[in-house]
Amino acid sequence: MKPYVIINAAMSVDGKLDSIERRGAALSSAQDRRRVLELRAEVDAVLVGGKTLLRESPRLTVKLPELSQQRLARGLPENPAKVGIVTRAELDPRGDFVTAGPARRILFTTSQTPPDQLELLNSLGVEVFVQDGQRVDVAQALEMLAGLGLRRLMLEGGGTLIAEFIRLGLADELRVYLAPKIFGGVTAPTLVDGAGWLASAARPLRLIEARVLDETGGLLIHYEFL
């Protein structure tokens, strides 16, 4: 058993999540940022991978009071749970992932994380699950999230974690904002990073929706995995 997983991302026309600088280049329009917050308000948890977690320490909250109130009116917590998957969880304890909320904070890591860091995170109220091995088993992590009562999950990246979810057949939907920009660069991060796979192993998709989202010409493309 696993949560229903929605991959959500913003990328350039050439499939990049960022430029070669990797400093969080702006891609989303105001309309897309609102769409993302509304989607966060609909799910039980928002998940990010290690590079995003360590470099950005994202807030992952719904941010807008009206969206928080809508969740509370439905008997839900003010914000979805924040979930991180990271091999070595050396997080900034003052970063937004830990401090912004109120929100449940859940972290999956490995025994490579120093014991004193695990103790610090636990003291800050972060629920930390430690796995043996070199990398977090994402399928096992999803099973644990389902056991915690989290049924609908939004995966916000990055490209390496998205690739792993797709490779393992763990993703149910893909929602992408296609920004009218081209970044280029072989080293720029893409929507689906990692080693890739053979054409015979490609995951098929069915189009649900494609529409112009804003006056800049940005497109929203919505697929489901078959």
Rounded mean pLDDT, 14-28: 93
Q: Which pLDDT value is given to residue 199?
A: 94
Q: Which pLDDT value is given to residue 70?
A: 97
Rounded mean pLDDT, 94-98: 96
Cis peptide before 65 (omega within 30 of 0): no
Tell me the pLDDT tens digit for each residue of 121-167: 999 999 999 999 899 999 999 999 999 999 999 999 889 999 999 99
- The rounded distance, in Å, linking the Cα atoms of 138 and 169 is 11
| Residue 177: CB atoms within 10 Å | 22
- Residue 23: pLDDT above 90? no
pTM over 0.75: yes
Pairing type for strands 81-85 and 45-49 reads: parallel
Look at the chain and report how many structural domains it folds into: 1
Measured between alpha carbons, how far is residue 22 from residues 17, 83, 115 in Å?
Answer: 9, 22, 30
Q: Which pLDDT value is given to residue 182?
A: 97
Q: Containing domain of residue 56, as a range? A: 4-225
Q: What is the CATH number of the domain that holds 214?
A: 3.40.430.10
